[in-house]
Structures are given as C-alpha cells and as structure tokens.
C-alpha cells in the first residue's frame, strides 16, 4: 500500500514539473528534463542488476563454503573406530603403547574437529596430522610396512588448506595394505614453497583381491573423488591431479600452483 502511494505521489510530482516546464516554453530545458527522466529508470535497472549479481555471488560463495565444509567432514570415521578398538585391546594387555596411542588419537581428533574447520593451517601441523595417522596405522596392523615420507618444506608456517591429502594416504592403507599380507609399501612426498605445493604418493596392492571385493575400486572411490572436488573448489584452473595404475602399483600426484 505504501509503495503504491509513493508511486502515485512520484507520478503526480513528475507531471507537475513537466507541466511547469512546458508553461515556460523553454525547449532546451524540456529536452534536458525528458532526457534525465529517461536516464532514471536506466540507472535504477543497472543498480538493481548489480545488487542481484552481488546477491547471486554471495549465494554462490555460501554454497561453495557449505560444500567445502561437507567434503572436509567426510574423513573416514572408521579409522577412529578401529583405533579405539585397538586402544581397548592395548589397555587390556596393559601395553606400554596405550598412553602413546591415546595422545596421538587425541591430537588427530583435535586437528580434525577444530583445525579442520579453518580455511588454512600451517604445513607443519598438516604434516604432524599425517605422521600421527601413519603411526597409529602401524600400531593397528601390527606388521612391518615399508613407509617413507619425504619432505621438502620451505617454511613450516606456510598456510595450506587442511585435510587435503589425508584421503590419498587413507586409500593407500585401505586399498594397498589391506589387500596384502606382506611386502606392503607406501612411499609419499610433500614439497611446499611460495610457488607451488606438490604431493606424490605410491603404493602397491593386490589387484586380484580388490577385484573380488566389488565394494572397493582401484581408483580410490569416494576418497579421491572428494579430493578432486575440493581441488576444483579451492584452486580452479590452478591445479593438476593425476593418478595411474600399473602392475599392481598405484601412483597419484597433486600439483597446486600458488602464483
């Protein structure tokens, strides 16, 4: 109702001004007024379009943030359940490893719950998370696994997205170590500097055993799909993700351009 009243008042004032200018019989002034009158709705439309684009951009940004938060929350909870079961077994055995496992598990849960919500974390904290994951898995499997983690870090305080490479490492245990009784290996490296971030991982697997279990895919399944989607959202057109499978060997490389 108020909006309609404003429109009526505006039209009335516009008609009054137009009539007064007409009475003056000044054609130049009349032409200027009509030109200005035509510009008003154009400016209004442009301003309205700009506000709509801003609104769409905000909605798009909020959607991307929600999707990123969902992807970060999809870290496999089975790892924590398995570790708790192992912890129970160690406690029953009164093993000296019990205290160490509790500490490492608490550090990982703290990182996942609190640091994982942030947009970035320090490289050193991300490395500590990966190392804790490895050590807890070594205790879990109770057998020798050839694991090598090479690091070439320019600055441990450099900021990177959290939980970015855990899916690949988790898949190496799930599809590689779990599929074999002996000879398992996981070799991976992380290079980080101002120009780029490069993460490479290689592991072996038993192709026959994995093919028998149709619920597992050699490509890594949801874990690598999660990583691929996060890379697209975080580094559009500034990343490469490549993976190859050859002779019971899986190799994946993530390259992120920071320039």
The pTM for the full model equals 0.69
Q: At what angle do helices 2-24 and 27-72 cross, to 10 degrees?
A: 150
| Separation of alpha carbons 8 and 199, rounded Å | 66
Give the mean pLDDT of the chain: 78
Q: Which two tokens stand for residue 26?
A: 């000044």
CA angle 86, 71, 248 (to 5 degrees): 65
pLDDT of residue 215: 46
Q: Where are the domains of the chain?
A: 2-68, 73-257
CA angle 71, 75, 79 (to 5 degrees): 170
Find, among 222, 121, 140, the residue nearest to 184 by Cα.
Answer: 140
At residue 207 the predicted structure's pLDDT band, cuts being 50, 70 and 90, is confident
Residue indicated by tokens 């120009």: 195
Q: Which range, 9-13, 38-42, 152-156, 221-225, has the best average confidence (pLDDT)?
A: 152-156
Over range 136-140, report the average pLDDT: 82
Q: 171 near 224, Cβ under 8 Å?
A: yes
- Between 92 and 79, the more confident residue is 92
Straight-line distance from the first to the last Cα atom of the chain, in angstroms, rounded to the nearest whole number: 55
Q: What percent of the chain has pLDDT over 90?
A: 22
pLDDT of residue 91: 82
Q: Is a pLDDT exceeding 90 seen at residue 112?
A: no
At residue 170 the predicted structure's pLDDT band, cuts being 50, 70 and 90, is confident
Domain 73-257 adopts which CATH fold?
Heat Shock Protein 90 (3.30.565)
pLDDT of residue 55: 61
Find, among 209, 146, 218, the residue nearest to 183 by Cα.
Answer: 146
Q: Is a pLDDT exceeding 60 seen at residue 183?
A: yes
pLDDT of residue 219: 47
Q: At 214, phi and psi to the nearest 5?
A: -70, -10
The radius of gyration of the chain from alpha carbons, rounded to an integer in Å, stands at 30
At residue 195 the predicted structure's pLDDT band, cuts being 50, 70 and 90, is very high
């Amino acid at each position: 109702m108020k909006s309609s009243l404003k429109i009526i008042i505006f039209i009335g004032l516009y008609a009054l001004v137009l009539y007064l200018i007409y009475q003056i019989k000044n054609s130049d002034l009349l032409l200027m007024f009509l030109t200005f009158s035509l510009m008003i709705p154009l400016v209004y439309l442009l301003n309205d379009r700009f506000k709509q684009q801003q609104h769409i951009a905000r909605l798009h940004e909020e959607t991307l943030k929600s999707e990123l938060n969902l992807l970060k929350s999809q870290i496999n909870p089975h790892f924590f359940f398995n570790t708790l079961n192992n912890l129970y077994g160690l406690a029953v055995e009164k093993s000296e490893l019990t205290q160490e496992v509790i500490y490492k598990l608490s550090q990982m849960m703290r990182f996942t719950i609190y640091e994982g919500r942030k947009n970035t974390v320090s490289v050193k904290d991300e490395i500590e998370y990966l190392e804790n994951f490895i050590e807890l898995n070594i205790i879990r499997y109770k057998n020798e696994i050839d694991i090598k983690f090479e690091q070439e870090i320019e600055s441990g305080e450099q900021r990177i997205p959290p939980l970015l490479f855990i899916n690949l490492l988790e898949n190496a245990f799930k599809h590689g170590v779990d599929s074999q009784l002996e000879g398992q290996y996981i070799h991976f490296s992380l290079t980080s500097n101002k120009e780029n971030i490069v993460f490479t991982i290689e592991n072996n697997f038993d192709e026959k055993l994995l093919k028998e279990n149709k619920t597992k895919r050699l490509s890594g399944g949801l874990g690598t799909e999660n990583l691929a989607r996060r890379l697209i959202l975080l580094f559009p057109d500034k990343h490469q993700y490549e993976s190859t499978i050859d002779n019971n060997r899986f190799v994946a490389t993530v390259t992120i351009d920071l320039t």
